[in-house]
Amino acid sequence: MMLEIAGLDLAYGDAQALDQVSLGVPERSIVAIVGANGAGKTSLIRTIAGIHKPRAGTISFRGQDITGLPCHRVCDLGIGQVAEGRQIFPTMSVQENLEMGAMLPRARAQAKAAMAQIFAMFPRLAERRVQAAGTLSGGEQQMLAIGRCLMGQPELIMFDEPSLGLSPALVQEVFNAIRKLHDSGLTIILVEQNVALSLAIADKGYVLENGRIVMSGSGRELLGDDRVRQAYLGL
Amino acid sequence: MTGPRLGLWCDGVPRRALVLCGILLAVLLAAPLALNSYLLSVLILVLYFAYTGQAWNVMMGFAGQLSLGHSLYIGLGAYTAAALFMHFGINPWVGSLAAMVVAAAFGAAVGYLAFRFGIGGVYFALLTIAFAEFTRIGFDHFPWVGGAGGLFLKVVGKGRFDLLHLRGSAVMFYYLLLALTVAAFLLCHRLMRSKIGYYWLAIREDQDAAQALGIHTFRYKMYAVLLSSAMTALGGVFYAFYYNNLFPEQIFSMERSVEIVLGPIIGGLGTLFGPLLGAFVLTVLAEGLRDLLSALGLALPGATQVFYGVCLLAVIVFLPDGIWPGLRRLLGLDRAAGPGPKREG
């Protein structure tokens, strides 16, 4: 297992956000975490990233205990995230946004090569390299957020709702990009409300409900499961 | 004109901007020759607000941390250097080092409390006010520095020019403050283009995203607070030795903090020229208003404050980015005419 989580508990004051969450992410896999709004998906990602400190439980990355490590240390291990709502720096140019992604020691040396790769992958970004990021379209901003994360040379990328607020065509484009990243050898955690699409590309899926994992299985199994179909796919 | 050493400072700055900066500096250098003592005192006030505004701007304009209690650092700086001088005869320059350390230590306390426990935005601002206020009350009851009765420095030889002991004429203080302002300007100019400047910008624009990229946001926010408080303390030292009297009620007051904040907001937050321009516009207009009112025989206490309020409203409504970004466009100093990011200067 690349990432292993056992018995993770997180609370905001009295509100329990994660309750005994355990899951494993194998190397080079796509793991989807699905669930309704408020199920704890974003809390889970933010806890892995070191933004929230769990009350109990452990997170280990390649055998190393990373529970409670500060954010920048987690990043430096090669765990990147593409946060919800894109979170680009609006007044910085596209190129500056990308450069910001390569500030970590592990990434600085390869920054030039990485940028060339990202521009090859998302030619629209290359065209707009000097433009302020705030003036990009929603889809372009999502590409920029992904590119910026890649600049940090991650080995595991956590996507939080990458399809949020995008048109169906752009959603497809984003998912194609995710699949391409996976093919290039990256491990991916995908948190999504778009259950059908994310389970379709996932090796493994977990269903979160009220902070608890209520179901898990391969992407295909879950897609075929009656309860999932009923609760999340409206079938 | 860009030799190898100048290149470090001028790299990427349009030639036109350099020329205009040179002219501005020349005018400021020559000003004492042409101005009477009243106008010189107004110009000193302008530079004082420009300098402290620049220092405040490091925290708010660059790193996005709103402090409404910068009078804390002014007061601490002023009292530290003045008390060391009075009680132990410690040279004010040495004293200003101590002043910066003391102010930075208080800044560190405020910053640590806020950033460690995730207090941001308005709540951070409230915390800065609280610190300034209880320090004010503390100094009211601190007999070593005169308590509420104030601390007074001996006024000796107005005509002297004793830079070493900071005793001398207004002209000397003017040049000293000009040097401070220029130094702060150059420092900020460098910082804006450095790694730390970009980190600050990232934190200001989207702290979560900055954190997600592995920026140690706690550390860089602390750097901003430390630098800003230490710089502000130097302004306080100047204040102490220029005015020669210190009262907790005045120097730590909320009003002082707000005066510092107004210049950069009106001039343009997060820009280099904003604090300068804002200080100039506000001070000159406020003084002009005062003269006008007294010429008309009207005594309206609080008129200046009302005027500040009107200025602030006008800027918020008509020029939400402040005066400088618009003026920069007028002067043709925007680097790229296209839709590129407009942030520099």
Segment A62-114, tens digit of pLDDT: 999 999 999 999 999 999 999 887 789 999 999 999 999 998 888 888 999 99
| Higher local confidence (pLDDT), B79 or B166 | B79
* Residue B208 in contact with partner chain A when CB distance is under 8 A: yes
Closest Cα in chain A, distance from residue B143 (Å): 44
List of chain B residues whose C-beta atoms are within 8 Å of the C-beta of residue A76: 214
**Average pLDDT, stretch B210-236?**
95
Residue A147 tokens read as: 């590119």
Domain ranges of chain B: 34-252
Domain extent at residue A169: 3-232
Rounded CA separation B46/B37 (Å): 14
Per-residue pLDDT at B3? 44
CATH number at residue A91: 3.40.50.300
For residue B341, the model assigns a pLDDT of: 45
Whether A87 sits inside 8 A of B212 (CB atoms) is yes
Q: Does B339 touch chain A (CB under 8 A)?
A: yes
Mean pLDDT within B105-130: 94
Give the pLDDT confidence score for residue A235 in this predicted structure: 67
Residue that has been written with the tokens 């025989």 in this structure: B297
Interchain pair A91, B341: CB under 8 A: yes
User: Out of A107-121, B96-110, B224-238, which region has the weakest mean confidence (pLDDT)?
Assistant: A107-121
Query: Residue B343 above 60 pLDDT?
Result: no
- Is the pLDDT at B176 greater than 60, yes or no? yes
Token output for B202: 């990232």
Please give the pLDDT value at position B166.
83
Inspect the interface and report whether the beta carbons of B202 and A100 lie closer than 8 Å: yes
Question: CB-based contacts of B137: which residues, under 8 Å, 6+ apart?
Answer: B248
Please indicate whether residue B241 or residue A233 has the higher confidence score (pLDDT).
Answer: B241
Is a pLDDT exceeding 50 seen at residue B11? yes
pLDDT band, residue B10 (cuts 50/70/90): low
Window from A17-31, B215-229, B310-324 with minimum mean pLDDT: B310-324
Q: Which of A152-161, B290-299, B326-335 has the highest mean pLDDT?
A: A152-161
> How close is the nearest chain B Cα to the Cα of A85, in Å?
10
| Chain B neighbors of A93, CB-CB under 8 A | 340-341
A-interface mutation test, from B198, B204, B211, most A Cβ less than 10 A away: B211
Of A72, A81, A131, the CB nearest to B339: A131
pLDDT in tens, A166-225: 888 899 999 999 999 999 999 999 998 888 899 999 999 999 999 999 999 999 999 988
DSSP 8-state symbol, A150:
H
Residue B333, pLDDT score: 77
What's residue A19's pLDDT?
93
- List the single best residue of B193, B205, B208, B213 to mutate versus A (max A Cβ within 10 A): B213
pLDDT at B337: 38
Per-residue pLDDT, B277: 94
Site of tokens 């207009």: B285
Nearest CA in chain A to B207: A87
How does residue A231 score in pLDDT terms, banded at 50, 70 and 90?
A: confident
β-pair type (B151-152, A79-82): unpaired
User: Model confidence over B145-167: pLDDT tens digits?
Assistant: 998 889 998 876 556 677 787 88
The per-residue pLDDT for range A13-68, each reduced to its tens digit, is: 888 999 999 999 999 999 999 988 888 999 999 999 999 999 999 999 999 999 99
**DSSP type of residue A93:** B
- What is the average per-residue pLDDT within B109-123? 92
In the predicted model, what is the mean pLDDT of chain B?
88
pLDDT band at A144 (very low <50, low <70, confident <90, very high): very high
Whether residues B214 and A75 touch (CB distance < 8 A) is answered with yes
Quote the pLDDT of residue A96: 94
> Cβ separation of B206 and A104 shorter than 8 Å?
no
Structurally, how many domains does chain A consist of?
A: 1
CB pairs below 8 Å between A and B: how many? 82
Of B216, B218, B341, the CB nearest to A92: B341
Task: Provide the pLDDT for residue A216.
Answer: 93
Identity of the residue in A76, A83, A91 whose CB atom sits nearest the CB atom of B205:
A91
The 3-state secondary structure of chain B, one letter per residue: CCCHHHHHHHCCCCHHHHHHHHHHHHHHHHHHHHCCHHHHHHHHHHHHHHHHHHHHHHHHHHCCCCCCCCHHHHHHHHHHHHHHHHHHCCCHHHHHHHHHHHHHHHHHHHHHHHHHCCCCHHHHHHHHHHHHHHHHHHHHCCHHHCHHHCEECCCCCCCCEEHHHCEECHHHHHHHHHHHHHHHHHHHHHHHCCHHHHHHHHHHHCHHHHHHCCCCHHHHHHHHHHHHHHHHHHHHHHHHHHHCEECHHHHCCHHHHHHHHHHHHHHCCCCCCHHHHHHHHHHHHHHHHHHHHHHCCCCCCCHHHHHHHHHHHHHHHHCCCCHHHHHHHHCCCCCCCCCCCCCCC
ipTM value greater than 0.95: no
Residue B158 pLDDT: 56
pLDDT of residue B1: 40
From the list B211, B217, B340, which residue is nearest A93 (CB)? Answer: B340
pLDDT tens digits, residue range B56-71? 999 999 999 999 999 9
User: Cα torsion for B124, B129, B131, B135, to the nearest 10°?
Assistant: 170
State percent of chain B over pLDDT 70.
92
Looking at chain B, the whole-number percentage of residues with pLDDT higher than 90 is 64
Mean pLDDT for chain A overall: 92
User: The pTM is what?
Assistant: 0.84
Residue of A82, A100, A141 best to disrupt the B interface, most CBs of B under 10 A:
A100
